[in-house]
Structure 1
Amino acid sequence: MGKRPNFLVIVADDMGFSDIGAFGGEISTPNLDALALKGLRLTNFHSAPACAPTRAMLLTGTDAHIAGLGTHVEVLHPTQRGKPGYEGYLNDRVATLPQLLRDAGYLTLMSGKWHLGDTLETCPHARGFERSFALLPGAANHYASSPKAGTGFPKQDTLYTEDDRFVDLPEDFYSSDGFTTKLLQYLGERKDDRPFFAYLAFSAPHWPLQAPDDLIAKYKGRYDKGPEALREERLERLKALGLCAKDIKAHPIVAKNKPWDEMNDEERARSARAMEVYAAMVERLDWNVGRVVEYLKATGELDNTLVLFMSDNGAEGALIEAVPVFGPYLMDFIDKYYDNSLDNIGRPNSYVWYGPRWAQAATAPSRLYKTYTSEGGIRVVAFAHWPELLPSPAIGNAFSTVMDVMPTLLDLAGATHPAPDYKGRKVVEPMGRSLLPWLEGKAPEVHPKDAVTGWEFFGRRGIRKGDWKAIWIPAPEGTGDWQLYDVATDPGETDDRAQAEPARLAELLTLWDDYVEKAGIVMFAIPT
């Protein structure tokens, strides 16, 4: 291996597993496809069930409950307040990836969604990024021209930071364009030859679904057959691409809203329009990735840059209007300040989401979607591109997690984690493992067969050892009992083995108790 590589980590927000072309999607994503099809597509890469915990795990290499993001700060329960791991920001028990890479001589740059602290003391600048432009909370309008001033919506000048100060947005701001432009600015302003770690964290395609009119128009009519038909199309392409088994059994759709054949014409038109806007958001994200790739090609740096792309969780399938913590307030607010008429959906003054059926078109064959500990919530689209290490196109099915990113990049940078001490404070060791031995063909797997990984979010639970996984999801989306699956042969989690394998389930439940204690989990089930 030659000189130390640059790192470009790109995170999409709530993107589905099969949204991009290289993973079976019909959306136009030529730039992502070019990278993925020349690199390594990861078909067994896992996140947390939701965005903030995943981002915490990415930047610390350890469980989100340890790093300070045990749940979303927006729904923190009174029983969790003040407890270690529920600070709502990256706490002092962790050293961050940008801090350690900066110490190792890297230029550290970020542009995009943060969701790991909403004050100047907890913003990206305070956690190791030399330059940063960040959306601090978990979601916002994608356009600066969306309703804001005088509406009761959080003031724009408390949402975004650049380095160590809050900033306003230019009037022509659109999130994917603006984040990319700022990262390109930082890359262009470099004054030395340090390798870089660039973190491009899109807030698309997270709701509200908003995109340029011309791109929305490209998809008019594409989704008029509905989400169930799209699900079948994508499953067939996944099989044809070798990204899932030909005989795979997909999990049945679980949804409270109407199926397509029970909707009236107006309901179908509105639902299809939401999916058209979603597709346009993904295409615009792809276009912006292409801007960065073209810059790296022009500067001769692409071949020495490890590009890692991933989504932060499974597709977002919630009916937000039905979630008590959002519903009443949010719907009144939308009705007062936004225009969700059919032809206006997708514009800056609209505010919609696409719901569980479209989400499960994107997570299939897996079960459910974001916030769930089933595979649909945590098995995410991911690929790596770097010709020096990954010279030939490949598909990798080894189990790995977002916690493995930090150890991998430190390994490639020739740096080590300082645990148990970092600059006068105690810090935890990463729980992830470097992918490098597996990538170099020196190890058959990333994790040993007896490795244990746990997940918890909103009281939903999951524990995995090797290929066996136990999950607990309350009714109505789950059974309210622990279920057991062999995810190697049943990635759709359709054949519950709990009754047939009681000893194996008992072992996993003991491991679950160990995980709860080790991670300091304070259980709380959000109402649904």
Structure 2
Amino acid sequence: MRRTLLIVAALVAGAVPAFAQTPKRPNFLVIVADDLGFSDIGAFGGEIDTPNLDALSKSGVRFTGFHTAPTCSPTRSMLLSGTDNHRAGLGTMAELIAPNQRGKPGHEGYLRPEVASLAELLGANGYRTLYSGKWHLGVTPEQDPHARGFQHSFALLQGGHNHFGLGASDDPIKGATYTEQGQRLTGVPSDFYSSDYFAAKLVQYIGETKAGPEGDKPFFAYLAFTAPHWPLQAPAETIAKYRGKYDAGFEVLREERLKRQAELGLRDPSKPVHTATYPRPWASLSAEEKRTAARDMEIYAAMVDRLDKAVGRVVTELKRTGEFDNTVIVFLSDNGAEALDIATSEMVGINRLDDNADNSFESRGSAESYIAYGPGWAQAATAPSWLYKAYATEGGTRVVSFVSGRGLSAPKGIAGAFLSVADVVPTFLDLAGIPNHNGTFRGKAVEPIRGKSWVPYLTGRADRVYGPNDAYGVELFGSRALRQGDWKITDIGDGRWRLFNIADDPAETTNLAAGEPERLAQLTAAWDAYAKDVGVILPDQTLYRP
């Protein structure tokens, strides 16, 4: 760990403090992938063709301890607010509010006006603010990204959509709703594909604002993909690149990725990995089931491939406009890989999504299909961790992430400290030389920032971001966790606390609760204090559990 920190310090020592000292403040670009697995891109052990993300990550710092909420909109609320999702209004997702949570503070299902968004903070301090992609933080005009500080925005308001744009509507009740500069659109172009279009819009905004009267201002840009979230859909020519790539099955893929992670220095091979559990092992599937499952993974890989190419176009535009060398880029997934299998799900709402779809083998991946890839492939994607999206385990919350950009040059590094998505706000403010608002913005009280700046850690002035006594809690859909130093308690939603030493057992393989009753009691008390502080209301129904 000490060696890693020294490498990271060498990366940015002198460069980061200079951000606040030079007249030209840094640009910021946040790129969010939707349901991307920890091991999906090449730089994190994957086999998918992701040269643009790999190049960015290897030129900067790859994080192996970056954590989010267990699902998408709670993570996005923390990313933009710097506070806990329960304080930001996303104690649960808008689509999945339990009866006992409805109408309760912190469980509104949209980004509350009582938080100052990162776009509002940077915009008020001389930044041009640009947005393109999935919003999922409210569907009304006053909740639109254009109303929350993004001066130039193209947004999908809901959490998901047909990636080819079918079913678009200016009424959020009737279909996927898109807005530009806060105005609802009746549809999208006939050649729409989500990753391509979201990147194209951001490229447009970067170029237009650079050439306009705002061109001398630094920018904050947020590119929020919906890939590779289901429905799994991709252009046929990209799917064809992966034909036959996954015929050996998900167990083999998981082992291959674990091996590459060790070779890349992303995990310590002496420490245990969590044993994956499969409803049906690959060997038990029929020949036709294997053929279909392999095709689904081919489509998923194509979505990640296409996302990477879209990122490449944004990087090209940054270089064309002369902005690249002054831009800090943070990339992350919003949660662990999605294990849901729509075809077998019994959850109300989910189990009807594919009713009118053509999921024949020939149609899979097209605009007319509606599929997901299930727990087998998801556990390859979250390797070496336990479980996946919707759980407060490491598999649900430890995600692929890196920082790259201005001043981050050779030597390259891997940083293993525990980090939170809520840290992005204070880190960017620190780099831009903007004071913490301390709970007041534009003359009104707002939620204080709970995240912590990475600058002391990345410059070698601190050996961690969160101290050994800092308690960091998370809850969603009744699955809970609390991290304090190297220790963690985890409840997967069954009401049972498990205790892990994450330093020795990062994959949560050995429950130490029986042998450490005092530590378990200490962390449980810390959880209770956290839950009271942020206003956790445990749901009285299980609404989402892959």
2:147 is paired with a residue whose SS is: helix
Q: Is the 8 A contact 1:147 1:338 kept in 2?
A: no
Structure-to-structure mapping, 1:46-445, within 5 angstroms: 46-144=67-165, 146=166, 155-156=174-175, 159-167=177-185, 168-190=187-209, 191=212, 192-256=215-279, 258-320=280-342, 321-330=344-353, 334-335=354-355, 337-389=356-408, 391-445=410-464
* Residue identity opposite 1:486 in structure 2: N
CA positional deviation for 1:418: 2.0
Q: Distance in 1 between matches of 2:94 and 2:306?
A: 29
Alignment partner, residue 8 of structure 2: none
Q: Does 1:501 align with 2:516?
A: yes
Instruction: Give per-residue Cα distances to partners, 1:443-476, cap 9 Å, x unaligned.
Output: 111111211111101001101100100011245x
Q: Is the 8 A contact 2:261 2:267 kept in 1?
A: yes
Instruction: Give per-residue Cα distances to partners, 1:380-416, cap 9 Å, x unaligned.
Output: 0001112414553100011111010000001111112
Unpaired segments ≥5 residues, structure 2: 1-17
CA positional deviation for 1:439: 1.0
CA positional deviation for 1:300: 2.0
CA positional deviation for 1:255: 3.8
Q: Distance in 2 between matches of 1:169 and 1:155?
A: 15
Unpaired segments ≥5 residues, structure 1: none
TM-score, length of structure 1 as denominator length: 0.95
Alignment partner, residue 526 of structure 1: 542
Q: Is the 8 A contact 2:480 2:493 kept in 1?
A: no
CA positional deviation for 1:154: 5.1
Q: Is the 8 A contact 1:39 1:387 kept in 2?
A: no
Q: Distance in 1 between matches of 2:172 and 2:236?
A: 24
2:143 is paired with a residue whose SS is: coil
Q: Distance in 1 between matches of 2:497 and 2:350?
A: 29
Q: Does 1:39 align with 2:60?
A: yes
CA positional deviation for 1:526: 1.6
Q: Distance in 2 between matches of 1:448 and 1:140?
A: 40
Q: Distance in 1 between matches of 2:361 and 2:320?
A: 42
1:419 is paired with a residue whose SS is: coil
Instruction: Give the direction of change, closer, same or farther, for the CA distance of 1:147–1:107 in structure 2 (3 Å limit).
Output: closer
Q: Distance in 2 between matches of 1:223 and 1:404?
A: 37
Instruction: Give per-residue Cα distances to partners, 1:101-148, cap 9 Å, x unaligned.
Output: 00110000000000000111101011100011001111111012x356
Q: Distance in 1 between matches of 2:515 and 2:257?
A: 32
CA positional deviation for 1:89: 0.9
2:142 is paired with a residue whose SS is: coil
Instruction: Give per-residue Cα distances to partners, 1:146-196, cap 9 Å, x unaligned.
Output: 3568xx99544x611111210121111100011011111111111121000
Equivalent in 4, 16, 36 of residue 15 of structure 1: 36
Instruction: Give per-residue Cα distances to partners, 1:402-446, cap 9 Å, x unaligned.
Output: 010000001111112323222232112111000011111111111
Instruction: Give per-residue Cα distances to partners, 1:62-92, cap 9 Å, x unaligned.
Output: 0000000011110111211111101111112
Alignment partner, residue 5 of structure 2: none
Instruction: Give per-residue Cα distances to partners, 1:185-213, cap 9 Å, x unaligned.
Output: 11111112100000000010000000010
1:189 is paired with a residue whose SS is: helix
Q: Distance in 2 between matches of 1:46 and 1:62?
A: 14
* Residue identity opposite 2:478 in structure 1: G
Count residues with an aligned counterpart.
515
Q: Distance in 2 between matches of 1:394 and 1:328?
A: 44
Q: Does 1:511 align with 2:519?
A: no
Q: Distance in 2 between matches of 1:171 and 1:214?
A: 18
Equivalent in 491, 499, 505 of residue 506 of structure 2: 491
CA positional deviation for 1:21: 0.4
Instruction: Give the direction of change, closer, same or farther, for the CA distance of 1:22–1:66 in structure 2 (3 Å limit).
Output: same
Instruction: Give the direction of change, closer, same or farther, for the CA distance of 1:141–1:517 in structure 2 (3 Å limit).
Output: same
* Residue identity opposite 2:259 in structure 1: E
Query: What value does the CA root-mean-square deviation take over the aligned residues?
Result: 1.5
Q: Distance in 1 between matches of 2:136 and 2:27?
A: 24
Q: Is the 8 A contact 1:39 1:386 kept in 2?
A: yes
1:438 is paired with a residue whose SS is: helix
Q: Is the 8 A contact 1:9 1:307 kept in 2?
A: yes
- Runs of 4+ in structure 1 deviating by more than 4 angstroms, as ranges, are none
Q: Distance in 2 between matches of 1:421 and 1:297?
A: 37
* Residue identity opposite 2:347 in structure 1: P
1:503 is paired with a residue whose SS is: helix
Q: Is the 8 A contact 1:6 1:306 kept in 2?
A: yes
Alignment partner, residue 13 of structure 2: none
2:288 is paired with a residue whose SS is: helix
Q: Distance in 1 between matches of 2:346 and 2:425?
A: 34
2:481 is paired with a residue whose SS is: strand
1:91 is paired with a residue whose SS is: coil
